[in-house]
Structure 1
Amino acid sequence: MKIAVVGGGSTYTPELIDGFARLAPFASEIVLLDPHAERLAVVGAFARRLLAHHGSGATLRWTSDVDDALRGAATVVIQLRVGGQRARISDETFPLACDCVGQETTGAGGFAKALRTVPVVLDIARRADPGAWIVNFTNPVGIVTRALLDDGHRAAGLCNMAISFQRRGAAALGVEPSALILDHVGLNHLTWERAAYVDGVDHLPELIDKGLDDMASGLQLPAELIASLRCVPSSYLRYFYRHDQVVAEQRGRSTRGERVSQVEEQLLRMYADPSLDQKPALLGERGGAFYSEAAVGLIASLRHDDGGIHAVNVRNRGYFPFLSDDAVIEATCRVGAAGAVPLPAPALRPELAGLVAGVSAYEELAVDAALHGGRDRVYRALLAHPLVGQHDKADRLTNELLSANRDHLAWLS
């Protein structure tokens, strides 16, 4: 089985390759695709040493030729970042001028990333072999995945929020991760863990009661909020539940993008060492814990039709009755060769459903703006976003966003 990794020059790629080497015997050929040839050569050579270290029989090569990389690939993994860390830093900065959170996956910054990303991802997907599965890691995952599905591709979006909670919860309960089934629901980066089943018994109340203070500290949310919700929100819910506090904190410190840029420089120096054949500890600071395991598990279920349980971004199709069928949600799914189908789950409570409905409406408008351009489409999407929602802010943010991204939006030229 040939797997193409789009954005293969990322410093995160060795984490993904390590997972393929350990857990994916079905991977016979891996091709890394990236336009940055010098960086790709460094990452590619290290990735090849990782495969050898684990005794993998897969071959690995790298290229900047899109059609060469995609030709014959049964699975295309997309993890690209249009504009690099410089664009990310912009996403994390310009919204602050309007007293809005600066973040690369949600709010105005996440929208800017979507506008840059969707056209590029669609161009790549259209050049893949018909029938190839597109496994999308690229943020904002929900918006990008919806664009792919709307364009007719076999696509599934993937995030590491659920698998990270599953691993921590399983360790706390003393069970294997595969024994813990989550009721993971919402939209990408807007999810809640509502139950944690082992042999049909929900252990989430126990996990919350015993680990409430640690959960609150890790999520940077008040313990009383989690106790009141009686479910565990994604860490990204902090941008909604404590928006003003986050904005105040962001004004007084460097951006995440700036910190990641420094880590990437160090990682690339390490990767260039020909004696290095294992993941350096520093890679853990790059983010994306357990992504490789999530990716391999999902790809294996799509290939082997094993009915595995995975948290996936898929079409709504009635799962949330208050959303359109075409909306893309994130939920615990059973996955086979035909794709992912959400497991049955109770209705969302109003305090969760209202937020999901608002953000989903924004995401629909965001896809439209990314596909068709136009200042008015950008403005209307920002006005709809719960983190913006006011005319003056939406109007000014539209100007700031377009100014900051002029080099990446072809319809502005």
Structure 2
Amino acid sequence: MKLAVVGGGSTYTPELIDGFARLRDTLPVEELVLVDPAADRLELVGGLARRIFAKQGHPGTITTTADLEAGVEGADAVLLQLRVGGQAARNEDETWPLECGCVGQETTGAGGLAKALRTVPVVLDIAERVRRTAPDAWIIDFTNPVGIVTRALLQAGHKAVGLCNVAIGFQRKFAAMLDVTPDQVHLDHVGLNHLTWERAVRLGGPGGENLLPKLLAEHTEEIAADLHLPREVLDRLGVVPSYYLRYFYAHDEVVRELRTTPSRASQVAEMERRLLEMYGDPGLDEKPELLSQRGGAYYSEAAVALASSLLRGTGDVQVVNTYNNGTLPFLADDAVIEVPAVVDAEGARPLPVAPLEPLYAGLVAHVTAYEDLALEAALRGGRDRVFTALLSHPLTGQYEYAEALTDRLIAHNREHLAWA
């Protein structure tokens, strides 16, 4: 089995490598290729990756290359984890929207649109090259914004599934609170990427006992603190929202915070500098503790499980991003949603979900409409399309903001926008 990781020079990659090494019975990787144009980073990450495999006794080979076609040739699956523009572009995404009183964040709002505009054309180019070189390979997309990028891939006819670590993070957290193993916990996880709610936490499968009321009764303070929301919000909702919902439920509070604190991108950039120094130590043969602060917790386990299901046809249930196909009847079939799905060699098929309550359905429909327009802007370009997408977003919604944000977005991203 051969896997290729595009964006393999990411500081995330040792987390992925550690998962491949630990879970080799689930996903017996024989050849792993890390693909990245950043030669210096790739050399450091590749060296540590090989040491991790060696320490854990993994027999597979790890190679590195800047040549995409050579890296993906013959691959069974290709994982995408790239960041167009790097942390510098992310820092701008998190900064200039604040000038207009809007949240600055890399996957939602105006910053999220900027990332989509930079990313979608690059990902589609990569995917076309993968299709020519490894036509049977599955594409697993971990590149944000996952929902929009996955929809772009699916609409272009690629064999693709989107992956996010939010659901597996909740699964692990709730399992620890309940003192059970994670595989016993099934989430009623529903919505869009980075716009989801946990409506039930069941033991043993979709029909198991719902222990979410117990969790909320006994652990509300802890859960609320993790989400940076008042416990009263959870008490009133009776569900657990993704932490990304704070940008919607406490938008102005978040803007005030972001205006007075260093951007997350600047913090991550410093972490990456330190991590790369660590990766260059020939005595380091395991992922360092600092990596846990980088983000992407449990990404490796989610990626291994998804790749295994796709390549081995196991039919496991996993939370993924895939076509709606009637699951949420108020959305078009080709909307991309994030829900539990049966995953096998044919792809991902969402499980039925209970009707979504109006409080959540309204926001899901609104953001889906924005994603439609964002993808159109990413594919076709043009100031008017950028403006329309921003005007449609629930975190913008006023024409003055949309006008100002459009000008700033284009000014800060001109080098990445072929049409600008």
User: In structure 2, what is the Cα distance between the partners aligned to 1:143 and 1:379?
Assistant: 17
- Counterpart in the other structure of 2:167: 162
- Counterpart in the other structure of 1:2: 2
User: In structure 2, what is the Cα distance between the partners aligned to 1:70 and 1:120?
Assistant: 16
Confirm whether residue 364 of structure 1 aligns to residue 372 of structure 2. Answer: yes
Instruction: Give the secondary structure class of the aligned counterpart of 1:313.
Output: strand
Q: TM-score, normalised by structure 2?
A: 0.97
Aligned partner of 2:19: which letter? G
1:312 deviates by: 0.1
Q: Bigger CA drift: 249-258 or 337-346? A: 337-346
1:226 deviates by: 0.9
Aligned partner of 1:60: which letter? I
Aligned partner of 2:119: which letter? T
> Could you list the per-position Cα deviations for residues 251-292 of structure 1 after superposition, in whole angstroms to 9, with x for gaps in the alignment?
001000000000000000000000100111111111110000
Q: Select which of 95, 98, 101 maps to 1:99.
A: 101
User: In structure 1, what is the Cα distance between the partners aligned to 2:184 and 2:176?
Assistant: 11
Q: Select which of 28, 33, 50 maps to 1:31.
A: 33
1:24 deviates by: 2.9
| Paired residues for 1:134-283 under 5 Å | 134-199=139-204, 200-283=208-291
- Counterpart in the other structure of 1:332: 340
Instruction: Give the secondary structure class of the aligned counterpart of 1:363.
Output: helix
- Counterpart in the other structure of 2:302: 294
Query: Does the 8 Å contact 1:24/1:300 carry over to 2?
Result: no
Query: Does the 8 Å contact 1:92/1:104 carry over to 2?
Result: yes
> Could you list the per-position Cα deviations for residues 194-252 of structure 1 after superposition, in whole angstroms to 9, with x for gaps in the alignment?
11111311111111111101111110111111111111000000000000000000000
User: In structure 2, what is the Cα distance between the partners aligned to 1:168 and 1:319?
Assistant: 27
Query: Does the 8 Å contact 1:114/1:143 carry over to 2?
Result: yes
Question: Structure 2 regions of 5+ residues with no counterpart?
Answer: none
Aligned partner of 1:98: which letter? C
- Counterpart in the other structure of 2:20: 20
Q: TM-score, normalised by structure 1?
A: 0.99
User: In structure 2, what is the Cα distance between the partners aligned to 1:24 and 1:364?
Assistant: 39
Query: Does the 8 Å contact 1:138/1:144 carry over to 2?
Result: yes
Aligned partner of 2:10: which letter? S
Q: Select which of 115, 121, 124 maps to 2:117.
A: 115
Query: Does the 8 Å contact 2:15/2:287 carry over to 1?
Result: yes
1:29 deviates by: 0.5
Q: Bigger CA drift: 340-349 or 78-87? A: 340-349
How many residue pairs match? The answer is 412
The runs of 4+ residues in structure 1 deviating greater than 6 Å are: none
Q: Bigger CA drift: 21-30 or 242-251? A: 21-30
Instruction: Give the secondary structure class of the aligned counterpart of 1:226.
Output: helix
User: In structure 2, what is the Cα distance between the partners aligned to 1:369 and 1:131?
Assistant: 29
Q: Bigger CA drift: 133-142 or 196-205? A: 196-205
Question: Structure 1 regions of 5+ residues with no counterpart?
Answer: none
Among all aligned residue pairs of Structure 1 and Structure 2, give the percentage whose two residues are the same amino acid: 60
1:30 deviates by: 0.5
Aligned partner of 1:162: which letter? A
User: In structure 2, what is the Cα distance between the partners aligned to 1:191 and 1:72?
Assistant: 36
Confirm whether residue 350 of structure 1 aligns to residue 355 of structure 2. Answer: no
Q: Select which of 124, 127, 140 maps to 1:125.
A: 127
User: In structure 1, what is the Cα distance between the partners aligned to 2:240 and 2:305?
Assistant: 24
Output the aligned Cα RMSD: 0.7
User: In structure 1, what is the Cα distance between the partners aligned to 2:184 and 2:315?
Assistant: 14
Query: Does the 8 Å contact 2:76/2:311 carry over to 1?
Result: no
Aligned partner of 1:335: which letter? V
1:120 deviates by: 0.5
